[in-house]
Structure 1
Amino acid sequence: MKKRLFVTGLSGFVGQHIQSRLASPDATWELLPAAHPYDLTTPGSLEDLWPQMPDAVIHLAGQTFVPQAFRDPARTFDINLLGTLNLLQALKARGFAGTFLYVSSGDVYGQVAEADLPIAEQQPPCPRNPYAVSKLSAEFLSLQWGLSEDWPVLVARPFNHIGTGQKDSFVIASAARQISRIKLGLQAPQLEVGDIDVTRDFLDVDDVISAYFALLEKGTPGQVYNICSGHEQSIRSLIEQLSDLAQIDVQLVQDPARMRRADQRRVCGSHQRLARTTGWSPRISIQQSLRAILSDWEKRVRQE
């Protein structure tokens, strides 16, 4: 018999990939739908949300765009911190006692000295934007709830993830969309970019989801886990790989509107704790990810 899983944020980038995975006949988890539409910032909308009690919850929903968090920090806290509190209280009222996985972000570490790379979970968090502060606050809230209510609560800190279906407000999706438009003759062979000479730790979204399920099955309650590839890659090199895959030449043009001051020039995480605890390791190569993303954007651009 399949275990019941409730996931917030199902309509988002990662949520859609979870839906696809659980639609498979050999999935060990069954997606438990909400009984009605809800809004995490409205506690009343969370009443009677679960016709059956889930065995586990993955809390994905949130305001994830850093520039938006600077524009409206209060709204970001309302969604990411108070929304989490509202969800926890609604689950408690319903008698939930299953596993709660809070999806945070590697962004909570803030600026990390190159001597401290790769970033392990022992690295003290030092968030540098309202989004990261809201995620770290909700981490502490979730872990406290686990202690107070005796629930198995785990925290995941995914680093950058990429894949099909991502909004083009994210750098690799934006580059893939523009390259697809250039290939189809809809745009001059110039790619507008921000600061692309930074490195980041990218992981395919399907590997990220595999890590979430590994944590539900084998994670240690009360622990925080990095989810990352363990390798750093420059944005420039990934854009060059995309243009090679598309078999086109592009000129990279810096767009001042896309330039964000990147204090952190290099990012590389360690997933050793996750691997030791669950046996998880990344399976999807960056080339496989980029190929799928490009193919997806070519289809989407044709439909625009």
Structure 2
Amino acid sequence: MPKRILITGATGFVGSWTVRHFKAVRSGVELWATSNEPASARLEVDEFVQADLFDNQAVQSLVEKCRPDEVVHLAGLTGNIPLAELIRVNVIGTENLYNTLITNCDLDKLRIVQVSSAATYGMIRSEELPITEQQQPRPVSSYALSKLMQDYLALSLWRRKGLGVIIARVFNILGPGQPDSLVPMTFIRQLINTKDTDTESFKVGNISSRRDFVDVRDVASAFNILMSRGRPGEIYNVASGEDISIEEVIEKLTQISKIQVTIHKAAERMRAADVASVRADISRIKIETGWEPKISLDDSLKAMWDNTE
């Protein structure tokens, strides 16, 4: 029987790229996918099951049908959503999935890559850069708090039940297909709008903040490598290991698009608690697995612009 790989949250931005990557590099496996939304015709998997992870019966049915050997767990909520709803999906939904896997799968063989977020690190001081996996989390947003709870749940099940879960703590993801609400896609949409409306106004928030961007295609590659080479019960930063200011990202986009704009700082785009600088230490994943990012920021931005144009 071929190895079965289940990807949750497969219809999202990162999920769809993860499906593409696993389809390309993992021959001879059965690729299963699930999401609470219907799958598009472009999602090339062997089996797709629409399911809400909060629904115990739906999760039980999914796992009994699939009985996966490997799971990439991406399903979850993001953004400015009430904490109770975030916990319902990101924590309780994950607990439902993991408890069902524990009951129905061979724990000696099962491997899970749980996709976490650098938002869990929260407020970082400049002297704490670059951020290692040993950094004390200080989550700021409700989303970050729910993801940290999810991480603690996974680590608890590893210690108590032997669930082979590996945590990929991903930094700022970008790439073709990124949602319009996220940086830098929000800037690309504004640039297109200035071109279409013949206006030079460009609204921004805090553009002095610095972030560690990593291409979604490199992220999908990291998930695959962590599955075979990562250590269960460990956290791995997935990032570029370099930081850049948002202002510099905008400058790169204006060069790519050949559109010049006048930047206006908008109060409604400012965050009350914005981390000044984020940069990951990716030594652990590089040393232990051999993974490192291959796609430059310039190439990512160019691909995003070309994909949108």
Alignment TM-score, normalising by the size of structure 1: 0.91
Q: Deviations over 1:256-291 (max 9, x none)?
A: 222112442111110000001101111000010000
Alpha carbons 2:22, 2:224 under 8 Å: kept = no
Matched with 1:124 is: 136
Report the 3-state secondary structure (helix = DSSP H, G, I; strand = E; otherwise coil) of the residue aligned with 1:265: coil
Cα distance, 1:133–1:25 mapped onto 2, change above 3 Å:
closer
* Per-residue deviation, 1:187: 5.4
Matched with 1:302 is: none
Q: How far apart, in 2, do the equivalents of 1:275 and 1:64 lie?
A: 28
Matched with 1:56 is: 70
Matched with 2:298 is: 287
State whether structure 2 residue 183 is matched by structure 1 residue 171: yes
Q: CA RMSD in A?
A: 1.8
Cα distance, 1:280–1:62 mapped onto 2, change above 3 Å:
same
* Per-residue deviation, 1:3: 3.1
Q: How far apart, in 1, do the equivalents of 2:166 and 2:95 lie?
A: 15
* Per-residue deviation, 1:28: 6.5
Of residues 272, 280, 290 in structure 2, which corresponds to 1:261? Answer: 272
Cα distance, 1:220–1:187 mapped onto 2, change above 3 Å:
farther
Of residues 102, 124, 132 in structure 2, which corresponds to 1:92? Answer: 102
Matched with 1:109 is: 121
Of residues 80, 84, 87 in structure 2, which corresponds to 1:74? Answer: 84
* Per-residue deviation, 1:73: 1.0
Alpha carbons 1:180, 1:294 under 8 Å: kept = no
| Stretch deviating more after TM superposition (140-149 or 228-237) | 140-149
User: Quick one: which amino acid aligns to residue 86 of structure 2?
Assistant: T
Q: How far apart, in 1, do the equivalents of 2:22 and 2:74 lie?
A: 16
Report the 3-state secondary structure (helix = DSSP H, G, I; strand = E; otherwise coil) of the residue aligned with 1:23: helix
Q: Deviations over 1:123-158 (max 9, x none)?
A: 111111211111111111111112222232111110
Cα distance, 1:33–1:229 mapped onto 2, change above 3 Å:
closer
Q: How many residues align?
A: 293
After TM superposition, list the pairs within 5 Å mapping 1:190-201 onto structure 2.
Answer: 190-201=201-212
Alpha carbons 2:59, 2:100 under 8 Å: kept = yes
* Per-residue deviation, 1:118: 0.3
Report the 3-state secondary structure (helix = DSSP H, G, I; strand = E; otherwise coil) of the residue aligned with 2:168: strand
User: Quick one: which amino acid aligns to residue 10 of structure 1?
Assistant: A
User: Quick one: which amino acid aligns to residue 95 of structure 1?
Assistant: C
Matched with 1:157 is: 169
User: Quick one: which amino acid aligns to residue 134 of structure 2?
Assistant: Q
| Stretch deviating more after TM superposition (284-293 or 256-265) | 256-265
The gaps in structure 1 that reach 5 residues or longer are 299-304
Report the 3-state secondary structure (helix = DSSP H, G, I; strand = E; otherwise coil) of the residue aligned with 2:220: helix
Q: How far apart, in 1, do the equivalents of 2:189 and 2:254 lie?
A: 11
Alpha carbons 2:116, 2:170 under 8 Å: kept = yes
Q: How far apart, in 1, do the equivalents of 2:28 and 2:128 lie?
A: 38
Report the 3-state secondary structure (helix = DSSP H, G, I; strand = E; otherwise coil) of the residue aligned with 1:47: helix
* Per-residue deviation, 1:186: 3.5
Of residues 155, 169, 173 in structure 2, which corresponds to 1:143? Answer: 155
Alpha carbons 1:146, 1:222 under 8 Å: kept = yes
Moved over 4 A (4+): 25-29
Alignment TM-score, normalising by the size of structure 2: 0.90
Alpha carbons 1:164, 1:292 under 8 Å: kept = yes
| Stretch deviating more after TM superposition (123-132 or 32-41) | 32-41
